Chain A
Amino acid sequence: MKHLTSMRELSRESAIGLLDNAQQLSQVNEREVKKLPALRGKTVVNLFFENSTRTRISFEVAAKRLSADVINFSADSSSVSKGESLKDTAQTLEAIGADAIVIRHPLSGAPKLLAEQGWISASVINAGDGAHEHPTQALLDALTIRQGFGLHEDLTGLKVLIVGDIRHSRVARSNILLLKLLGAKVTVAGPESLIPEGIEAMGTEVLNSFEQALEEKPDVVMMLRVQKERMQGEFFSSAADYSKSWSLEGDRLAMLSPKALIMHPGPMNRGFEISSQAADDPRSQVLKQVANGVAVRMAVLYQCLSGEQL
């Protein structure tokens, strides 16, 4: 595996391999000296065309724990604002010595284009592109689910419910593909205006009622963040209206099985798509997800840059 731009690039075996590696690497994070020499001498560039402090920091920590050098390149403060093309930016970074480019881009497909157009020979890792995919988020979610149920292989038999703004969510798309690949049954639920046309073709069931979805006793409920700018108008009438039907709170929380996992990719809109009660519930995996994010990104960087599993 040289690049990771879409979950479509993974087989069941390679996905499990990545999760196994991440599981092993997560132990580094428990040590006193949280560092391995695995990528010493390698240079990882975080090329972010969209602000995302959390994802960038997670990749940065992951690369540093493997002893790689890390350069953060934010599009806001760079030549990109002067109209430089993606091709020129990437070639410039490679000329500086980048071995891997971790790219976050507001436009769907930019990472795949960078990986496949032959502009550069560095590894390309997708850190979220438009409404397309966020592969490392799906891997860290899968790892969290695996740990949560004490599993060691795939997720066969588990029922995962993803709730909220499916239409604009790259997290949902990557998760649907990966969880399905790992044998889970995936259901998405949200207001009709936020369910994109033909999402079923990716291998998910669609429900338009949170209650109905909860009656199916999901093992995992994954709440998606709803962007503030989408809270009014085109997609639903008001924030209060949305929360009433789609927030994980009160009775809905009570419907969840005691063993179920509550997940959220962050940052959370407490009181909007998720109540504080749910976010702080013992079943909540939110911080575990963040911790697993570092381990998963270590595994991905290691595999892309060394070309081998641990």
Chain B
Amino acid sequence: MNSIVLNNVTLPNGTGADIEIRDGRIVSIGESLSRGVDCAGLIALPGFVDVHTHLREPGFEASETILTGSQSAAAGGYTAVMAMANTAPVTDNAAIADFILDAGQAAGYVEVHPIGSVTIGLKGEALSDIPGLASSKSKVRMFSDDGVCVFDKDLMHAAMLAVKNVGGVIAQHAQDPLLTVGSQMNAGALATELGLTGWPAIAEESIIERDALLAEGTGSRLHICHLTTAGAVEVVRWAKKRGINITAEVTPHHLMLTEELVRSYDPLYKVNPPLRSQEDTLALRAALLDGTIDVIGTDHAPHSAEKKECEWQNAAFGMVGLEHAASVLQEVLIDGGGDWERFAQILSTRPAEIAGLVNQGKLEVGAMANLTLIDPSAKRLIHSATKSKSTNNPFAGSTLPGAVVHTIFKGQFTVKDSQLQERS
């Protein structure tokens, strides 16, 4: 029998409690006579769920593997990640999906669920085997061509119908490719000064608007990856008001970092979609507070050093994110007037619902013991070297609030006293 007792935790609603865990489940939340791990000062939250992780395996193991990505996730307080489909080969069939599922289980740090690609090879030409992915061992329910947009309207329409049939959701990477040929950074005065091709907001907003209408027409469920502009927030707000079944995510970096960082031409700050203006970050924060944006998706996008040690235009897009997402959310949300219940919704409950993960996002008796304890009073210096195999961390060198102290996955510590634990 395997049991853990957590004494003196603070629950998201602010009350104190002890939590007893036995055989992988939460068996009591309240007062316990048993003494276990003293968690005074720590906030207990349902384990974090990332709807947008690039684990890079199979195909790009120099940047990340399912094991190292899982470790990075656990270190960041996650107990489940959704693995994006832009692997090589692409996750457009059950065999690749099940390979990822199995490797995730073997790693044993978090639930790893493969996201299926919407189109074969992410080419945007023909639909992947959506029913086959859905009925595989992986039971794929989330589909995305992330990295590229499903641009063809007719194909997107067909995809929505196919995904609706299996009770799934499409996570759209909203980027009109015709409006972003060669785009390098947010369009505007700074792009002009720096001589970099601009990435207009409308390239994102017009796709969200189109897909919201397609979702309305088909009755399908739509999730929008990484919102970055004030206008995109307006479109999502409009769609939700209209009753369209749409959810939206924002990344940690788009909440805090702005295009000003591009002045350095350091490819560390090159990301798709690009860092935007201060006004955009403020609109994203407000949308996260008021619920227009549902969740944080890290868009954890590891890249090996040589992909970033080059000219801006030749560098890869992307940043890691798993190990500082919670700290960014604390700074933005808690310091912005939000509370820990909203925090848990954004980082755990809603992403679990969007991804359809039944064993995640619940801090209640009887639930699978997936939980995270954070110390909100900590201040920590962010380092570029983390549990991820890659170091492309735009927050390296800055100080952020909050630290993950313990992560418990299926009733066992993956992180204890801030140390990653060995898994069999």
Contact check, B189 vs A107: say whether CB atoms are below 8 A apart.
Answer: no
Contact check, B312 vs A107: say whether CB atoms are below 8 A apart.
Answer: yes
* Interface residue from B187, B195, B266, B306 paired with A117 (Cβ < 8 Å): B266
How far is A2 from B6 in the complex, measured between Cα atoms in Å?
58
CB of A214 within 8 A of chain B? no
CB of B333 within 8 A of chain A? no
* Interface residue from A116, A132, A198 paired with B195 (Cβ < 8 Å): A132
Measured CB to CB, the closest approach of chain B to A204, in angstroms, equals: 11
Contact check, B310 vs A198: say whether CB atoms are below 8 A apart.
Answer: no
Contact check, A86 vs B310: say whether CB atoms are below 8 A apart.
Answer: yes
Contact check, B310 vs A109: say whether CB atoms are below 8 A apart.
Answer: no
Q: How many residues belonging to B are interface residues under a CB distance threshold of 8 Å?
A: 21
How far is A246 from B289 in the complex, measured between Cα atoms in Å?
51
Interface residues of B in 148-203 (CB under 8 A from A): 187-196, 198
The answer to whether A113 and B195 touch (CB under 8 A), given A197-B187, A198-B188, A202-B189, is: no
Measured CB to CB, the closest approach of chain A to B136, in angstroms, equals: 39
The answer to whether A199 and B189 touch (CB under 8 A), given A117-B266, A170-B195, A173-B195, is: yes
* Interface residue from A87, A109, A198 paired with B196 (Cβ < 8 Å): A109
Q: Which residue of A lies closest to B193 (CB)?
A: A202
Interface residues of B in 297-317 (CB under 8 A from A): 306, 309-314
CB of B238 within 8 A of chain A? no
Interface residues of A in 231-258 (CB under 8 A from B): none
Contact check, A196 vs B264: say whether CB atoms are below 8 A apart.
Answer: no
CB of A105 within 8 A of chain B? yes
Residues of chain A lying within 8 A (CB to CB) of residue B188? 197-198
Contact check, B264 vs A201: say whether CB atoms are below 8 A apart.
Answer: no
How far is A241 from B403 in the complex, measured between Cα atoms in Å?
63
* Interface residue from A105, A107, A199 paired with B192 (Cβ < 8 Å): A199
Contact check, B265 vs A197: say whether CB atoms are below 8 A apart.
Answer: no
CB of A283 within 8 A of chain B? no
* Interface residue from A105, A198, A202 paired with B311 (Cβ < 8 Å): A105
CB of A28 within 8 A of chain B? no
Contact check, A87 vs B193: say whether CB atoms are below 8 A apart.
Answer: no
How far is A248 from B254 in the complex, measured between Cα atoms in Å?
46
How far is A86 from B265 in the complex, measured between Cα atoms in Å?
14
Interface residues of A in 91-131 (CB under 8 A from B): 105, 107-110, 112-113, 116-117, 129-131
* Interface residue from A85, A87, A112, A198 paired with B265 (Cβ < 8 Å): A112
Contact check, B311 vs A131: say whether CB atoms are below 8 A apart.
Answer: no
Residues of chain B lying within 8 A (CB to CB) of residue A196? 192
Residues of chain B lying within 8 A (CB to CB) of residue A273? none
Interface residues of A in 132-177 (CB under 8 A from B): 132-133, 170, 173
Contact check, A112 vs B193: say whether CB atoms are below 8 A apart.
Answer: no
Residues of chain A lying within 8 A (CB to CB) of residue B313? 107-109
How far is A125 from B229 in the complex, measured between Cα atoms in Å?
36
Measured CB to CB, the closest approach of chain B to A44, in angstroms, equals: 22
Contact check, B314 vs A107: say whether CB atoms are below 8 A apart.
Answer: yes
Q: Which residue of A lies closest to B306 (CB)?
A: A85
Residues of chain A lying within 8 A (CB to CB) of residue B264? 112, 116
Q: What are 9 inter-chain pairs, A to B, with CB distance below 8 A?
A: A85-B310, A107-B312, A117-B309, A130-B196, A173-B193, A197-B191, A199-B189, A200-B189, A201-B189
| 8 pairs of A and B residues whose beta carbons are closest in the complex | A198-B189, A109-B265, A132-B195, A131-B195, A108-B195, A201-B189, A196-B192, A107-B311
A interface residue numbers (CB < 8 A to B):
85-87, 105, 107-110, 112-113, 116-117, 129-133, 170, 173, 196-202
Supplied contacts A133-B195, A198-B190, 20 more A-B pairs, CB within 8 Å: A85-B306, A85-B309, A87-B309, A105-B311, A107-B312, A107-B314, A108-B265, A109-B194, A109-B265, A109-B313, A110-B311, A112-B264, A112-B265, A117-B309, A131-B195, A198-B189, A198-B193, A201-B189, A201-B190, A202-B193
